[in-house]
Structure 1
Amino acid sequence: MSFLAKKSCAICEKPLAKYSCPKCGIQYCSLACYRDQKHITCTESFYKQQVEESMQSQKADEQAKRQMKELMRRFREQIADDNLLDPDSLDSPADKEADKEDADKEEDVDDDDEHDLAERLQGIDLDGALNHQSAAEIWDRLTKAEKDGFLDMLGKQEIEEIIKPWTPWWGNKQGKRNNEPKIVELSDTENAADIDKSDAASSIPAILNIGVSVQTLAKKVHPSVIFQIIQIELAYAYMMRHVNGEPYNENLQLAFEVMTTVSPLLSSKTADIYPSAHEALVSGFCNIDIGLSSDAKIMLLGDLQAIFDAPIYVAATFSDIYSLLTELLALCKQPKTHETPTPKASIVHRAERRVYFILSVVLQMQNDISAWQFISADISLLKRRFESEFQASK
């Protein structure tokens, strides 16, 4: 599962693989290896999904249409530059020898090509929200040269313009001062999935004020719950990086699987008891990958430092986890018509109730400054250790 650990690449066999395919799980070291013929099934599936998600989210409004037209223009130019299409499809017969007039002629040819593409896409509602079937139809109606050209263009770092690199919301120092999370009242019977998440990838999640004291949920709270909080925060930070800051919608089940892998106590019948923050974190790192590199651990511990540096962020993350689980639970209770099987509702419900309890603990601890400082000190100590190991390994 780890995209951070260093393993051998399954494509080129170099011992530099830092990534894993979320579909088939193979380890790979670069975009070139990801797009290799050995991995073409997952590659095509990935780009189909990106096309679908892009058109779903942007609703094909005027700005999106202009952006798509610009992408198409650059795509056609790239095809022409790389000679991926038969020259006859790019130039009229009268202009085959007129290299000096290519710039003027290609514009006319682009219109012809786009008209031809429009004919091939007839019958598909491009103005509405697309689903997997219609996205697959669009892909299938592209010529082999168009598919190859599109993938080649993405391989030349153009992918960053489609999938924007995500910046964790907890790393926004300005946000800590001026952009505190909203506080939303939530009774035990209300649905956290109804909370507005229109800009969840970049904004601080709303804090769910559940309005229930810890004493009403449990007679006694085990001291190790503080270390469970740390491990679940690690699971959340890793998951958010794994899904590029977008844990909802089509990533909902993946988000749950990643978090429960890193921190099994989320969904297990009996919660693990850790004697220290160190043990809780090391256990979580091993659950990610037993060979997780020091630089990856340093990055994740930096995430935790940023979160625990502002206790209100701890409440925000557990509120977000609770909202995720509530939404997934609702999905699990729907008729089983999904392409991908959902987890058992009983497992998700168990995780939801555990997070509900821990959220009540976190909210009650908000003003216990010494407790949060204790956690931050432990995280900082472990981070310095891995930094020393990383420097020694260079």
Structure 2
Amino acid sequence: MTTSMQSEIRTGANDLQYNGMLELKKKCGVCLKTESKYTCPRCNLSYCSLLCYNSTKHAGCSESFYKDCFLQEMKSKEAVSTSEKLRILEMIKNLDEDCVDEAEFDDSLHSRLEGINLDDHDSVWEKLTADEQAEFLDGVKNGTLVDEWKPWWTSHEKNLVVELDESSVEGKCATSSAIPQRKLNVPKLTELLKSKEPSPLVSNNLVEVLYTYAYHCRKYNGATTDLPSESGFNLISGSTFLLNGLTRPSLEEALEITMSACSNHNRDTAVPHETIEVLLDVYHILLGPDKGNVTLYTKVSLAECHSYCTALKRCRELPSTVNRTLVKNALRKLEFLYAWADHAFLEFPVLALRVFGIYKSKISLFSEHEMHKMSRSHQGHPPVKRDLITEL
């Protein structure tokens, strides 16, 4: 046998030995994916990480291990009195019972909802017990079911906001959510228009888009980023400027139409008090955080809208009322408004006050309407009797 053949045989034997060693390496007994690195000293289970060690598959062993360690530590502490040990053991027992009850509850609810279409609200409701239904309704009534979202645009420097009658912004500013870190890289307005001057009605389009954005942020409790493509569709559907390219001749008309469009798109039967309050959100956005950066909130809002429409554009299938060309045009319009905000920053304080004036007018009319309804109610004011048949 030649030297070269002996070398090849040794190489092949080494390869077989190495491959055999690889096969002997066990995978994690919990996730069954990653190579195991450790072995449980109690049950000899091979695992890859602390996450797998503490998983539900290994919970019985790991919890028992921690409990034994704790009890052993208690025995070694002479300073701990017998009554204190009994109290702690009672707490552990109660905790174990609570965990069992919670697990049984989760298993029961999971089994009841198994095979049920979770989008079918009626079917899900029927599977809930009477206590669960009562707990849900109580949470809706008290507002404890979902934490109330505090808009990030309500945070301003001191003395920047016009003092309101009942809608004080103090307190809101301290608890408002974080400002989204979004911006757009767009050319300057002079580069987009070249030698042309922007229309004086651009501000009407901007306010319309901001209202639609704030309306849906309020409606979905700030969770618009969870479904960006749906938010993009809602945004375009609520703004006639983004949908049809229409520019309204007055700020009042632009707001009136977009308020109606948002209500119709979301199947709201009437314009409630909360819909009028969205005008106050637009006012806050136009103010910005301080006098030196009045356009920041507007540009962040437009960048958010741009991200929603971009997500809508990437969808394989679009709703029947929009198409890809329409979405592309909406993106260009948002980019134009973003460039205009940088160019016309001096107009923002006046524009904010105009929106605030419209808000005050509408909220005053709404209050008068409510007072009129109360005055015509039957409480203390019986209805005037009228003859059903009048002699002619």
Q: TM-score, normalised by structure 1?
A: 0.53
Identity %, equivalent residues: 17
Matched, 1:374 2:350: yes
Instruction: Identify the residue that residue 301 of structure 2 maps to in structure 1.
Output: 317
Q: Is the contact between residue 215 and residue 275 of structure 2 (CA under 8 Å) also seen in structure 1?
A: no
Deviation at 1:229, TM superposition (A): 0.3
Deviation at 1:387, TM superposition (A): 2.7
Amino acid of the structure 2 residue aligned with 1:377 = L
Residues 247-262 of structure 1: pairs in structure 2 closer than 5 A: 247-249=224-226, 251-262=227-238
Matched, 1:216 2:191: yes
Residues 1-394 of structure 1: pairs in structure 2 closer than 5 A: 111=100, 114-115=103-104, 118=107, 136=118, 146-157=128-139, 160-173=143-156, 202-219=177-194, 220=196, 221-249=198-226, 251-268=227-244, 271-289=245-263, 292-293=270-271, 295-310=273-288, 311=294, 312-330=296-314, 332=315, 334=316, 344-366=323-345, 368=346, 371-393=347-369, 394=371
Distance 1:248 1:215, change over 3 A: same
Structure 2 unaligned blocks of 5 or more: 1-50, 57-92, 161-175, 289-293, 372-392
Distance 1:234 1:222 in 2: 20
Instruction: Give the 3-state SS of the residue equivalent to 1:166 in structure 2.
Output: coil
Distance 1:157 1:120 in 2: 18
Distance 1:175 1:272, change over 3 A: farther
Structure 1 unaligned blocks of 5 or more: 1-59, 66-103, 125-131, 178-200
Deviation at 1:374, TM superposition (A): 2.1
Instruction: Identify the residue that residue 379 of structure 2 maps to in structure 1.
Output: none
Amino acid of the structure 2 residue aligned with 1:388 = S
Deviation at 1:344, TM superposition (A): 3.0
Deviation at 1:202, TM superposition (A): 2.7
Distance 1:143 1:207 in 2: 39
Deviation at 1:151, TM superposition (A): 2.6
Instruction: Give the 3-state SS of the residue equivalent to 1:206 in structure 2.
Output: coil
Greater shift, 150-159 or 285-294, is seen at 285-294
Structure with higher Rg: it is 2
Distance 1:115 1:295 in 2: 44
Distance 2:212 2:297 in 1: 15
Q: Is the contact between residue 153 and residue 179 of structure 2 (CA under 8 Å) also seen in structure 1?
A: yes
Distance 2:155 2:341 in 1: 22
Instruction: Give the 3-state SS of the residue equivalent to 1:267 in structure 2.
Output: helix
Deviation at 1:352, TM superposition (A): 1.2
Amino acid of the structure 1 residue aligned with 2:313 = L
Q: Is the contact between residue 253 and residue 342 of structure 1 (CA under 8 Å) also seen in structure 2?
A: no
Q: Is the contact between residue 170 and residue 307 of structure 1 (CA under 8 Å) also seen in structure 2?
A: yes
Distance 2:253 2:108 in 1: 61
Distance 1:133 1:387, change over 3 A: same
Provide, for residues 228-268 of structure 1, a one-character-per-residue CA deviation record: whole Å limited to 9, x for no partner: 0011111111111111111123x334322332232121132
Q: Is the contact between residue 229 and residue 358 of structure 1 (CA under 8 Å) also seen in structure 2?
A: yes
Instruction: Identify the residue that residue 27 of structure 2 maps to in structure 1.
Output: none
Distance 1:279 1:143 in 2: 42
Higher relative CO (Cα under 8 Å, sequence separation at least 6) belongs to 1
The CA RMSD over aligned residues, in Å, is: 4.4
Amino acid of the structure 2 residue aligned with 1:324 = Y
Distance 1:346 1:145, change over 3 A: closer
Distance 1:118 1:319, change over 3 A: same
Q: Is the contact between residue 279 and residue 355 of structure 2 (CA under 8 Å) also seen in structure 1?
A: yes
Distance 1:120 1:293 in 2: 38
Distance 1:274 1:372 in 2: 18
Q: TM-score, normalised by structure 2?
A: 0.53
Instruction: Identify the residue that residue 47 of structure 2 maps to in structure 1.
Output: none
Deviation at 1:343, TM superposition (A): 5.0
